[in-house]
């Protein structure tokens, strides 16, 4: 846990300091975003999906990230315009409020709070839920929100050509076959670069002075992500007969995690309120270290 917190904090703060130092070009974040979306994330997705073990009884847990994203779309598309938010701001809230950091924050947090036995459920929620939602519906939504050409064919073409989606498809196609250990190691090393580079980029884009002017959007976005989403998932799962206590608690905790860093990168890459997206992640991650344990306490 302490190593995780150190990595997240160091990567984020180095990005913020790099911007203030004036030693990095203004386009640094764009270059890092391109690397994350086109190299690091596809490597991580390909490796994770190829190693995925399908457990039928955990499919209900895997559905929860999809429900969180669907709820995010419905909630922000309904409330955002009534509060006068611009379309790009609403789209940024849908992405950062609808996708949870179920891997780099979620897995270590759940192991620390609930033990290693909880990781099997947490991994399935992450890979069958968050990864698939990011590579499909979230990408399609971001493309549609940013596109001038909104024809279905044009949108699908962009999604199909999106490197993480290609990696997702390849992972499923190649799933029955093993590959050399060297390939697995290379993919693992490339995937390991995602979190530090993505958080560096988010820190680089962060404008702390912008917090005051974005309080309404941040309160709405983080209120949904850290409180309303896990509450809704808990209520829905209580309606399902036969779900084990461990599966229930892990599913709710994964829904309560901070916004996914890659969601902020995806929003920024599509020009969907990069400032707010960075603030959602920059404030959401440290807040989640307090709110997630409280959520578990409430479940008990």
Helix (H) or strand (E) segment spanning residue 91? helix 87-98
| Residue 230 contacts residue 72 (beta carbons within 8 Å) | no
For residues 221-227, average pLDDT: 98
| Residue 93 contacts residue 217 (beta carbons within 8 Å) | yes
pLDDT 10s digits, 66-87: 999 999 999 999 999 999 999 9
Residues contacting 288, CB < 8 A, separation 6+: 101, 105, 109, 226, 256, 257, 258
- Three-state secondary-structure class, residue 259: strand
pLDDT reported for residue 1: 57
pLDDT reported for residue 105: 83
- pTM of the predicted protein model: 0.82
| Residue 60 contacts residue 243 (beta carbons within 8 Å) | yes
pLDDT reported for residue 55: 67
| CA 189, 4, 38, 102 torsion-angle sign | positive
Q: What domains are defined for the chain?
A: 2-17+27-299 (1.20.1530)
pLDDT reported for residue 108: 77
d(CA 121, CA 242): 15
d(CA 148, CA 236): 37
pLDDT of residue 292 exceeding 90: yes
């Amino acid at each position: 846990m302490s190593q995780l917190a150190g990595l997240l904090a160091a990567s984020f703060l180095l990005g913020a300091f790099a911007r203030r130092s004036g030693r990095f070009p203004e386009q640094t974040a764009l270059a890092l975003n391109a690397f994350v979306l086109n190299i690091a994330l596809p490597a991580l997705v390909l490796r994770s999906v190829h190693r995925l073990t399908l457990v039928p009884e955990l499919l209900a847990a895997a559905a929860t990230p999809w429900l969180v994203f669907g709820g995010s779309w419905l909630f922000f598309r309904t409330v955002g315009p009534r509060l006068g938010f611009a379309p790009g701001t609403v789209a940024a809230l849908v992405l950062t409020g609808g996708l949870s950091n179920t891997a780099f924050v979620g897995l270590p947090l759940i192991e620390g709070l609930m033990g290693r036995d909880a990781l099997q459920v947490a991994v399935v929620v992450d890979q069958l839920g968050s990864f698939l939602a990011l590579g499909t519906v979230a990408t399609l939504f971001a493309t549609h929100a940013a596109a001038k050409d909104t024809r279905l064919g044009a949108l699908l073409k962009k999604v199909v050509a999106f490197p993480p989606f290609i990696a997702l498809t390849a992972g499923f196609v190649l799933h029955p076959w093993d590959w050399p250990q060297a390939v697995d190691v290379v993919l693992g090393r490339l995937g390991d670069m995602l979190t530090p580079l993505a958080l560096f980029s988010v820190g680089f884009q962060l404008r702390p002075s912008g917090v005051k002017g974005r309080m309404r959007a941040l309160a709405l976005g983080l209120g949904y992500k850290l409180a309303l989403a896990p509450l809704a998932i808990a209520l829905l799962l209580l309606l399902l007969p036969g779900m084990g206590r461990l599966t229930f608690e892990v599913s709710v905790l994964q829904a309560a995690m901070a916004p996914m860093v890659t969601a902020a990168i995806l929003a920024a890459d599509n020009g969907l309120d990069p400032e707010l997206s960075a603030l959602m992640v920059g404030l959401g991650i440290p807040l989640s270290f307090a709110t997630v344990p409280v959520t578990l306490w409430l479940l008990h």
